[in-house]
Amino acid sequence: MIRVSPGGPRRPGLCGLGGALLLALAACSSAGSPPSAAPSSAAASPSPPVASAQPSSGSASPSASLAASRPATHSPSPTHASAATTHLPAAPAVAGKPLFGKVIGIDPGHNGRNYTDPAFLNQWIWNGRAMEHCDTTGTSTNAGYSETLFNFMVSSYLAADLRAQGATVVMTRTSNSGVGPCVTTRATIINAAHADVAVDIHADGGPPSGRGFTVLEPVADGPNNAVVAASALFGTYVRSAFLSYAGMPVSTYDGVNGVQPRSDLAGLNLTTVPKILIECGNMRNVTDAALLSSSGFQQRAAAALDTAIVRYLGR
């Protein structure tokens, strides 16, 4: 995600995938002006939502499920792997199926080919407070590792853990090779599943000097009023687990002590289930980038989120 100031409009981000830059810039300049009147309800993407609701089958261990979930195209280089932080405590093992009967929503931010369709991205939608674009391309490291791939990898590892523990997992996209869906449609997918809790997974494109993760929490705006307090509570579990097990510090440039309320994001404004968005680190910072592009960190981030979900739902 490209970071914007709380309360400000969300701008299409620039993807770091080579030739995508010109298309993304074209998208930014071709959007036009937003409609003067906001619709009474959230607009949905014209494309059909991509959703996955799969209950767990079998009793595979979390580690085995993580290995099985890794897309075959992902092969971190030794440089990336060596960047992973060591000597961290492992996230606690979970015995049995404590999440049986629970529904968990996962939204891997953006999509791997968003940059190919600027007209789709620049549709105007109502985010619960204001007009914004359907989605953006996301950001990338200076070396070109995309946020979309990071988001999808962490989400895949997390989904495998949750399913191994008995949960039904609903994902807003199930590959990194598509376009969309719009942010409003992502919220609709998770709301319609009546998820017990949900997480939007991103990485930030902040200032190069800044490090760390931020938990973004909803601000009451009508549709989300009933879940703002529960979302904040879930956020405390996420912050604690991420600090303990992921190996990423709290943000030095966004929020206060790793937490930032946001009122300009459709996924939080329109949620009717407890939900937070986590910026897992800053892709524009060289230290964070080395972690974010390593499979070791991605698995630790997923394990930390899994720990937070289990603790929140088991409280």
Structure tokens at 282: 């800053």
When computed from its CA atoms, the radius of gyration of the chain, rounded to whole angstroms, is 18
Which of 132, 147, 217, 279 is catalytic? The answer is 279
Residue 132 annotated among the catalytic residues of the structure: no
Of 142, 185, 121, 76, the closest CA to residue 282 belongs to 142
The values of phi and psi at residue 89, to 5°, are -65, 140
Q: How far are the Cα atoms of 64, 121, 222, 275 from residue 113, in angstroms, in the given order?
A: 29, 11, 33, 26
Q: Is 245 exposed, middle or buried (0-12, 13-18, 19+ CB in 10 A)?
A: buried
Of 169, 145, 176, the closest CA to residue 70 belongs to 176
| CA–CA distance, 127 with 210 (Å, rounded to integer) | 28
Task: Report the phi/psi class of residue 291: left, alpha or beta, with left for phi > 0 and alpha for psi in -120 to 50.
Answer: alpha
Q: Is 52 exposed, middle or buried (0-12, 13-18, 19+ CB in 10 A)?
A: middle
As separate numbers, helices (DSSP H) first and strands (DSSP E) second, the chain gives 10, 9
Q: How far are the Cα atoms of 82, 97, 126, 297, 311 from residue 150, in angstroms, in the given order?
A: 17, 27, 27, 10, 24
DSSP state of 109: -
Asked if 141 and 293 count as a contact pair (C-beta separation under 8 A), the reply is yes
| CA–CA distance, 203 with 181 (Å, rounded to integer) | 18
Positions marked active-site:
279
